[in-house]
Homo-oligomer: A and B are copies of this chain.
Amino acid sequence: MQPAEPVQSAARPVGRGAKVRAAVHAATLAELLDKGYAALSVEDIAQRAGVHKTTVYRRWVDRDSLLVDALADHLATDLPVPNTGAIETDLRALARSLVQMFTSSTGQAILAAMFTGAAHLPEIAAARRHVFDDRLTRGEPVVARAIERGELPRDTDAAELLKTLAAPIYLRLLITAEPVNEATADQAVRVTLAAARAGALRPARVSKAATG
């Protein structure tokens, strides 16, 4: 019987592999930023990453799946759940973090890719939803605490509230192309709170009376 050596077996990252992966990811985002989704070319990405085209194709089946992977990798950052003791400042933190996410220059590029260029890819659609759901999940405790503190009606619908908070920001980013900044975030908070306090963000009533 042999003395079991410190078995580092399990995974074998091989070393170079990880470096290549990172370089290509970075190059992908850089190219995305420079030229946009439509003009992304695997060859250019590879060259920028100091890597050969075939190497890219060895790791990613597709130009698209490379992009998806790079974006997913970039978005894998979870922010902390704010807890300032007051709903207004909590929401402000959430809204502002959303604004920040998409106003850096890379944020812009990612936004463009996720919502316009590569939007047609199912994985990107999934990523989009995932990012959003993530923020919803993170926001729920904030609402719950506010309800406990009596700042909001008991049956306030957290998801609805958070969507109301995010909606105007996305609208400006994606449709009206107005500048988006902290003021935008703050205004969203104001509207959301007003609606919530007025009880407009409780679960949809099932009454079918609302017609006409």
Per-position 1/0 for A33-56, Cβ under 8 A of B: 000111000000000000000000
Instruction: List the B side residues contacting A199 at CB < 8 Å.
Output: 194
Checking B115, B168, B212 against A164 with a beta-carbon cut-off of 8 angstroms, the contacting residue is: B168
Please tell me if the beta carbons of A115 and B115 are within 8 angstroms of each other in the complex. Answer: yes
Instruction: List the B side residues contacting A191 at CB < 8 Å.
Output: 164, 191, 195, 200-201
Please report which residues of chain A, range 24-75, place their CB below 8 angstroms from some CB of chain B when the two chains form the complex: 36-38
Please tell me if the beta carbons of A179 and B116 are within 8 angstroms of each other in the complex. Answer: no
Please tell me if the beta carbons of A168 and B163 are within 8 angstroms of each other in the complex. Answer: yes
Task: Give Cα distance in the complex from A59 to B153, angstroms.
Answer: 60
Known: A112-B120, A176-B132, A200-B194. A92 touches B183 (CB 8 A): no
Interface of chain A, main secondary structure: helix
Task: Give Cα distance in the complex from A125 to B186, angstroms.
Answer: 26
Checking B160, B166, B183, B194 against A198 with a beta-carbon cut-off of 8 angstroms, the contacting residue is: B194
Q: Is A151 an interface residue (CB 8 A)?
A: no
Q: How large is the interface on A (under 10, 10 to 19, 20 to 34, 35 or more residues)?
A: 35 or more
In angstroms, how far is the closest chain B Cβ from the Cβ of A172? 8
Q: Is A129 an interface residue (CB 8 A)?
A: yes
Instruction: List the B side residues contacting A88 at CB < 8 Å.
Output: 212
Please report which residues of chain A, range 151-192, place their CB below 8 angstroms from some CB of chain B when the two chains form the complex: 160, 163-164, 166-168, 170-172, 174-179, 181-184, 186-187, 190-192
Q: What residue in chain B is nearest A180 (Cβ atoms)?
A: B211
Please tell me if the beta carbons of B212 and A84 are within 8 angstroms of each other in the complex. Answer: yes
Q: What residue in chain B is nearest A117 (Cβ atoms)?
A: B120
Instruction: List the B side residues contacting A83 at CB < 8 Å.
Output: none
Q: Is A76 an interface residue (CB 8 A)?
A: no
Please tell me if the beta carbons of B209 and A183 are within 8 angstroms of each other in the complex. Answer: yes
Instruction: List the B side residues contacting A120 at CB < 8 Å.
Output: 36-38, 112, 116-117
Q: Is A119 an interface residue (CB 8 A)?
A: yes
Q: Is A4 an interface residue (CB 8 A)?
A: no
Closest 10 CB pairs of A and B: A116-B119, A167-B167, A194-B198, A194-B200, A183-B209, A89-B212, A167-B171, A92-B212, A191-B195, A194-B195
